[in-house]
Structure 1
Amino acid sequence: MKTRLHSRESGFTLIDILISLFILGFGMLALARVMAQSSLSEVEASQRSQAMTLAQDMAERINLNRKNAAAYVGNYSATWGPGGGADCSGLSGVEKDACEWQNLLAGGTTLDVRSAIGAPIAALGCVVNPVPNIYVIAVAWQGMVPTTGSDSVCGANAFDREENRRVFSTVVQIATLGK
């Protein structure tokens, strides 16, 4: 007659399964964190892209109205209320450009159930003229996570934390042609 020998090393024990589940759970938590960071980075990148578009829009407006470029110098804030953006229909020239740009800063290009969502969070615009015929257009907004602060004065002290202020700037140079 044959006898069977039982080995202590056959199959999984409860402790092996618990350790495996612990490692799997830890891995799933790490994956969730990576996905959350990815979403946050996507929002930051989207806001930067919108700020670049806004700055370029003002640069084009200044280029198209070069003779009155100095009239664009100033600080611009979002003008979006419960009824929508400011009415720019009766305006012309620099005033119309400024009004439309303020609506763009408020996100007026993209609406979601009467809310403007097409701009960075709390966007502010600045146009400065540091030297003759040079204009610096900056768009400041509130970022999602703290980073190092910006050297630009655009939007300084306008947000809860200076470390959350983001700024994108571009330069427009107006050529002086012979007289």
Structure 2
Amino acid sequence: MYPTANHNWTTPILSAVAILLATVVVSPLQKITTSPTLPQRQTTIAATTIAPLQSQKDAVLTTTPATLTLSVSQEKTILLNIASPKNKVTGSEIHLKFNPEVISIKEISAGDFLANPLRLAKQIDNQKGEVVYTIGTLKPSAGSGILANVIINAKGTGATQLSLDGTIVTAENQNENTVKSLQGATITVQ
């Protein structure tokens, strides 16, 4: 049928092919399943040090005018000024206290210091003589300007302080109130 040939040379070739296949295909598979290893390359990671936030109280709040004399029923606008040369101010919680028998607060509104301020709270209590007005912005400001405009009405004769005690100013990268000093107004009604 078929001519017989000497197959003595085929056995060594088949053995060589089997060994080659075992080395090329099986050997890498054994390495993957039996001993997974990562490349032994050394990578240097840069170390970063984060400095703790340092409090810089630099916000100075004043009123214009600082002293004021009014007649009963007279209205006047008082400007609440801010100077914050280093810190970028993000917002403020303004607290005003006064004698409600001498003056009342008709209105409080944001000045031009903060760009596009958002009013977060506005509480005028002329019974207790207290105002809380909170504003903030997404565009922090440094420097000086008018933080708020306060319209007062003279009610009765006497004198009162328009106190800013308790006012808070927040700033970028600061973790506490940045108010350095507060100066309210002295108001006399005749």
Given the two structures, how large is their TM-score scaled by the length of structure 1?
A: 0.28
Name the structure with the higher helix share.
1
Max radius of gyration: which structure? 2
Name the structure with the higher strand share.
2
Given the two structures, how large is their TM-score scaled by the length of structure 2?
A: 0.26
